Amino acid sequence: MIRNASSACTVTARLAGMAAAFAVAVGLLGASLPARSQGSGMPTLPGLSKLANSGPPGIAASAAGTATSSLNPDKERERLNSELVEVRGWNDQLSDGDTPAAVPVGISKDEIAQAVRKLTQWAIANEGSLRALAGIQTARAELAAIHALESAWSGPGGKPPYSILMVDDWARDAESRRIKIASMEATNRMGERELVRLGEASKQAGSAVRRLEEAARTAKVPDQAAAAWRVKAAQWTEKAEGATLAAIANDRQWTTDKIAVEQAQLGLLTRKLGAVAGQVSFTTEDLEQIRRIEQTRRAHLEKESVQATAAVQQRTREFEATTLALQKLREAQPAATQEALDVAEARQRAARTALDTSRRDIEMLANLESLTTASVGLWKLRFDALNATDADRRREATAALRKGLEDTRVWKTYASGQIAVVQSELGEQAIRRERLGQSPEVVRYEAAATDSLNQRALRMQQLEDEIDRVDRALRRWVDEIGGTVRELPWSERAALAWSQIRSAARSVWQFELFSVEDTVELQGQKVNVSRGVTVGKSVGAALLFIFGYLIAGRLARRLERTLTRHFGVDPAQARTVRRWSLTLVGFILLVLTLNLAQIPLTVFAFMGGALAIGVGFGTQTIIKNFISGLILLMERQIRVGDIVDIDGTTGTVTEVNLRSSTIKSFDGVAAIVPNSTLLEGKVTNWTMSDPKVRRIVRVGVAYGSPTDEVARRMLECAQRHGLVVKSPEPQVMFEDFGDSNLVFGLYFWIDVQAGTSGQVVMSDLRFMIEKSFAEGGISMAFPQRDVHLDSPRPLQVELIRPTP
């Protein structure tokens, strides 16, 4: 992500530091130093007499970088510098011409290039270690100075209360240092993983050296020089990888020391913030100073906006000129060359990109001005939230700050989206610049377009940075206000809490669900007014209706009991009167409730057309069902609890209402059946006169089974089952001689109104019969077929010997 000028420098510096630590290790295999001294039979490099020896004994410890530097940094720096001189000398010897004289015959150019790369890697790693050692020394000196400063610090000085601006500076500094610590800890974790990888690669480098040494000992005389050179080059590779490993370890130590410095600074800042806790004031002078700062920033932004407006005008003229020139080229006779067209198109594209960038500059500057204005308002809200004596005013200011925090999320999403668009355009522009065969003029214009896009990205990044600044400040302020509230006396906290509860309840109560148009007569004229239906009106109307309906229900039940007891009215008829009376009272109560709650009846105006259609087309069916319900209630041929079968649906009647009845099937499914269907259709009422229902279980036994024993055992099973009624008694019938079995039927009765399931009882009896037959040795029959083969002559049977 592209930052503004200062942020870009900071990020670039960090990335450069990380790249210096890991660039060599990522691109090349690293290794730890082998456990072998420099003088262990390493051959002298032919042609390099002055640099043939491997140098001072300290070179053998290059991979031990961290331990050596921590014990004796001066000697470690001396060793590293000495190595650098020798390595650069070797590198210069190998880089002298296409075929250096110092290289024996038989060494290829690729091997020489590989040796040069490893020597370069070695030098870069040592330079990195030197930088890290210097940084470690500086960081430790800074750490000692910070500890001394912390020991000498005795307080913020002056008399409390302290300015909130000073405390804000400390808080921002502490937050910045926390971010730095987290970033450096992540860098160290990456370095640790890289060290693990390099340790694994070290084994391969050591193995390569040993293989080449073995090959050198067994080489023939003409090849000994080349073999010795290869051993030396492999040892350079090993040294380079060890130096890389040491450089990364030193860099990790440097980062660790910098983390310690930042943590010490953070500890001092935390101590300062703790010392002034509860002794901070936000005065009107502080607020006025903030206003002056923001006004200065706004004036600077307005100046930039004027410059951006002038730039838009200039770039508009440039774009129009380039467009006209391109049009003339396309219409020219004879036709212009393709190269000229490409240059004109690239020029127009660069001019259009610059114009768009200037226009977006104006838009981004306007957004920055809006943020500056909003920032002043947020500071005023913070002032009210901390200093206002009125609890309602404090609450409103706190709520407005939280709302501002939510708004910053929207701004951050907007800024991120704009940056993503510019990054996409930069990607497309990079693809254009990578095309081959472009003329210098096209390349120059494409580079200008890229610069315009980068400028646009920087401006958008400036907006995002400003949004982040406001967001961090708001988060800190909200947390600060929460802590301030906890420090208030309990009476003020209670008042603030009650104010918050009252405000929240008022907001919910006055929330408008929707509005309706109503017509009122004012001074003889009809005027259309808009009336809102709020949560308060709706809840009030609902409570009033529910309370009135409960009272009406109690009165209706009393009326039902009075009609039944004192006037001899049938209970079903009395129940019908109660239901109709309650319906009528409910309708009247609804109209009165809406009028009392000032909810106009026009809310239900949309129902007028539907009601007219219903009256025209649905009255016949409604009345028919209503009259059928009255007949059912009076005749009582179908009552609640009866088991009926209608149109293939079998179940228990659970409700008999005025319009329809409810039948709950044995599967648990409720069916709504119009009352007219119960009167006009064929209905089987199993329990109208008797709740007992007969069921049959048929059993087939094999031919030859004792029929009397079969009947006795089946009857015994029915008599032992607890849900089979005793009267009428169960019976066993020998029903038929089947094709494959003797068919017996067990006829028994159950009481369905007692909740007995016929399917369950039949299943139980089948289990019992099967077990009883098994105990008595009676076989259950299964289908059998006899097959008779009728042939006029004997069947021919042949034995065929298998072929070998």
Confidence of residue 509 (pLDDT cuts 50, 70, 90): confident
pLDDT at 400 over 50: yes
Residue 744's φ and ψ, nearest 5 degrees, are -120, 145
d(CA 45, CA 755): 106
Select the more confidently predicted residue: 63 or 551.
551
pLDDT digits (tens, 9 = 90+) for 784-794: 666 666 667 77
User: What is the enclosing helix (H) or strand (E) of 695?
Assistant: strand 692-701
Smallest Cα–Cα separation from 697: which of 762, 793, 649? 762
Which residue in the block uniquely carries the two structure tokens 């502080």?
286
Strands (E), 389-432: none
Select the more confidently predicted residue: 615 or 582.
582
pLDDT at 597: 65
Q: What is the rounded average pLDDT of the residues 787-804?
A: 70
CB under 8 A, 24+ apart: contacts of 311-317:
311/358, 311/361, 312/355, 312/358, 312/359, 312/362, 315/351, 315/354, 315/355, 315/358, 316/355
d(CA 614, CA 630): 22
Q: What is the rounded average pLDDT of the residues 773-785?
A: 80
d(CA 656, CA 658): 7
pLDDT at 599: 67
pLDDT at 786: 67
Confidence of residue 159 (pLDDT cuts 50, 70, 90): confident
pLDDT digits (tens, 9 = 90+) for 363-392: 999 999 998 888 889 999 888 888 877 777
Contacts of 570 (CB under 8 A, 6+ apart): 564, 634
pLDDT at 798 over 50: yes
Q: What is the rounded average pLDDT of the residues 159-169?
A: 87
pLDDT at 718 over 70: yes
pLDDT at 266 over 90: yes
- Which token pair is 701? 């036994």
**β-bridge mates for residue 733, sequence order:** 745
Q: What is the rounded average pLDDT of the residues 210-216?
A: 84
pLDDT over 70, % of the chain: 77
Q: What is the rounded average pLDDT of the residues 283-301?
A: 90
d(CA 74, CA 203): 30
Note the residue count of the chain: 804
Label the pairing between strands 643-646 and 649-656: antiparallel
- Which token pair is 697? 């279980």
Other beta carbons less than 10 A from residue 395's beta carbon: 23
pLDDT at 605: 55
pLDDT digits (tens, 9 = 90+) for 444-489: 898 999 999 999 999 899 999 889 989 888 888 888 776 544 544 5
Confidence of residue 796 (pLDDT cuts 50, 70, 90): confident
pLDDT at 590: 81
**β-bridge mates for residue 747, sequence order:** 696, 731
pLDDT at 261 over 90: yes
Other beta carbons less than 10 A from residue 506's beta carbon: 11
pLDDT at 37 over 70: no
pLDDT at 254 over 50: yes
pLDDT digits (tens, 9 = 90+) for 414-427: 888 989 999 998 88
pLDDT at 652 over 80: no
pLDDT at 537 over 90: no
pLDDT digits (tens, 9 = 90+) for 514-535: 666 666 666 666 666 666 677 8
Select the more confidently predicted residue: 802 or 241.
241
Computed over every residue of the chain, the mean pLDDT equals 78
pLDDT digits (tens, 9 = 90+) for 117-131: 888 988 999 999 999
pLDDT digits (tens, 9 = 90+) for 424-436: 988 888 888 887 5
Write out the DSSP string of 457-479: HHHHHHHHHHHHHHHHHHHHHHH
Lowest mean pLDDT among 472-481, 703-712, 751-760: 751-760
Which residue in the block uniquely carries the two structure tokens 């001396």?
78
pLDDT at 493: 57
Select the more confidently predicted residue: 562 or 756.
562
pLDDT at 647: 77
pLDDT at 64: 38
Cis peptide before 728 (omega within 30 of 0): yes
pLDDT at 653: 77
What is each CA distance from 399 to 300, 378, 508, in whole angstroms?
31, 11, 15
